């Protein structure tokens, strides 16, 4: 087995390349992902047999407030890109919870509204929504809850 020449640069181990003060468990992405996992568990425990994703929840509750709305505007309101909101709306339409029609004034625009079943479900979701937030934030003081929500809102508006 040949050895590298003595003047060749030494290859350092990966441990030597990482800053000594770097800890994964202190990094924003890791902490947000862990918090998201917890929030998702709370969400699913409260949503139960309704079998909804958080994105579907957002769309249904937003449509309850807005009645009929252009799909692109709906995506803006619920912070989803066009492809994601399209998929969410399609899945809700397949379940009979939303109806989609072409805007008569602009054939390129799709208008979305709740069906009767969607309206009933959305009203139920508005009732369970505060429980989800309350249970997710239960380990924090009132001030910590307000601070966290304010900071997350601010962070989310940076992009």
- 5 pLDDT more than 70: no
Percentage of the chain beyond pLDDT 90 is: 77
CA–CA distance, 148 with 159 (Å, rounded to integer): 18
Interval 73-97 mean pLDDT: 97
Interval 32-53 mean pLDDT: 94
The predicted structure's pLDDT at residue 23? 87
Are the CB atoms for 71 and 100 separated by under 8 Å?
Answer: yes
Interval 88-108 mean pLDDT: 96
Structural domains for the chain? 27-140 (1.10.10.10)
Q: Which residue has the higher pLDDT, 9 or 86?
A: 86
Q: Which residue has the higher pLDDT, 159 or 75?
A: 75
Are the CB atoms for 128 and 46 separated by under 8 Å?
Answer: yes
Residues of 19-32 as b/e, b for ≥16 C-beta within 10 angstroms? eeeeeeeeeeeeee
Nearest to 122 by CA among 71, 48, 50, 44: 50
Per-residue pLDDT tens over the stretch 26-39: 899 999 999 999 99
- 14 pLDDT more than 90: no
- The structure's pTM equals 0.80
The predicted structure's pLDDT at residue 1? 44
The overall average pLDDT reported for the chain is 89
The predicted structure's pLDDT at residue 4? 45
pLDDT band (50, 70, 90) for residue 131: very high
């Amino acid at each position: 087995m040949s050895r590298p020449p003595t003047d060749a640069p030494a290859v350092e181990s990966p441990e030597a390349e990482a800053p000594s003060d770097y800890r994964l468990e202190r990094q924003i992405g890791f902490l947000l992902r862990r918090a998201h996992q917890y929030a998702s568990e709370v969400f699913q425990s409260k949503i139960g047999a309704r079998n909804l994703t958080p994105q579907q929840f957002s769309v249904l509750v937003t449509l309850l407030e807005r009645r009929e709305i252009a799909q692109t505007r709906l995506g803006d309101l619920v912070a989803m890109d066009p492809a994601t909101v399209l998929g969410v709306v399609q899945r809700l339409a397949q379940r009979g919870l939303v109806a989609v029609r072409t805007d008569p004034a602009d054939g390129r625009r799709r208008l979305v509204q709740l069906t009767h079943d969607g309206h009933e479900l959305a009203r139920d979701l508005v009732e369970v929504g505060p429980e989800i937030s309350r249970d997710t934030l239960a380990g924090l003081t009132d001030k910590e809850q307000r601070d966290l929500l304010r900071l997350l809102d601010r962070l989310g508006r940076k992009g």
